[in-house]
Amino acid sequence: MVAGIIGATGYAGAELARLLSGHPKTDKLIFSSVSFEGERIENIYPNFLGRVCGTLLKADEVVASSDVVFAALPHGVGEQYAASCMERKIHYIDLSADFRFDDDEATYSAWYGKQYQYPELHKNSVYGLPELNRKRMRELAAKGPVIVGNPGCYPTGASLGAFPAIAKGLALADNAIIVNSVSGTTGGGRELSRSFHYAECADSCAPYKVASHRHSPEIAHNFAAMAAMTGNAAPSLIFTPHLAPMNRGIVSTIYISLVKEWRVTTGSAAAALPPSKEIEAKTDEIRNLYTDFYRDEPFVQILPAGITAATNRVRQSNYCDISVHLDSGGTTLIVAAAIDNMMKGAAGQAVQNMNILFGFDERAGLEAIPALF
């Protein structure tokens, strides 16, 4: 099979090249670039020398010769390639936000400032979070070529961390779910920007785009989708991203107010107490519920008591590690979810989606265990 990558010189595109070069079903890789057309990819990324090689083509040439196309482009430039892929009857997996909102163009336009160029393409595209939409991806792939809107990096970890609480009716719909996420700098891509200069982001950690990050509507959509699927009311969202001086990884700490049936106490008066036996027992109960919810998921792991999710324990892997905690007041569930933003947050998840569309083993090409350092 020939896999094509449009935008291969960016961080997500290069990560796709690295992963697909080791994929058992990929015989050949072809790549495109605007800025480096005609140059060799291994000269742009010397870690590819002798390993992942080839000349960077035009995007149209990649589309014309591929059996599946991945687009790792800025938002708003990829729809034309999706249209060409549908004409050629091949699957198209888009890592930008262009196909993440299905036909909800109003939300996309409000947050991304762009209009759909090919509105009809958005009627049958699918949001590619396997843990939410695997069945729909399979159904669409059985009928013909599919456009997948690969999820954003923050929404992947935040959604996976909150889904079981929403689906099993633990989350109090009256209170917002609060998500505080910390990301490494590859999340911003390879394009230069001042806030990513070493002197401005090393040795510091700060929130950014407070109450205004573009991933907020995507996370809220996912909460609502899981609530609708399971007949529950969807809590609202307060999302605050932070930039940390590390290359890869996102850890999201998620605060979920529990419905009264799941609370250990009736109020917050006990908040200053040390954890009690009752808290430990309730935490075990919720951890078991989370484990059961994800029992068939190849890339979501619920951690045992005493281990907290951390970015370095999922590094370079497609896993989402989740740890479950309860505040000592007994009213708020605290979930930590860690992913590698380049993997489960981007390229790894895109390969997982390719595996689903083609009916391959979902783990194919993604079996590397995390690299702790």
What residues act catalytically? 153
Contact 173, 233 (CB under 8 A): yes
Comparison of 3 and 171: residue with beta carbon closer to ligand NAP: 3
Comparison of 13 and 130: residue with beta carbon closer to ligand NAP: 13
Handedness of CA 291, 126, 78, 32 (dihedral sign): positive
- The CB-of-17 to ligand NAP minimum distance in angstroms stands at 11
- The CB-of-331 to ligand NAP minimum distance in angstroms stands at 34
- The CB-of-196 to ligand NAP minimum distance in angstroms stands at 11
The two three-digit tokens of residue 207, written as one number: 């929130």
The residue at minimum Cβ distance from ligand NAP is: 10
Comparison of 77 and 310: residue with beta carbon closer to ligand NAP: 77
Q: Where are the beta strands (DSSP E) in the chain?
A: 2-6, 28-32, 56-57, 68-71, 91-94, 126-127, 147-149, 177-183, 206-207, 237-243, 250-257, 300-302, 320-326, 332-339
- The CB-of-174 to ligand NAP minimum distance in angstroms stands at 32
Comparison of 34 and 205: residue with beta carbon closer to ligand NAP: 34
**Residue ranges binding ligand NAP (CB under 6 A):** 7, 9-13, 33-36, 72-75, 77, 95-96, 152-153, 186-187, 189-191, 341-342, 345-346
For residues 214 and 133, what is the distance between their CA atoms, to the nearest angstrom? 21
Handedness of CA 349, 238, 274, 171 (dihedral sign): negative
Instruction: Provide the 8-state DSSP code for 126.
Output: E
Do the bridges between strand 237-243 and strand 320-326 make them parallel or antiparallel, or are there none, so unpaired?
unpaired
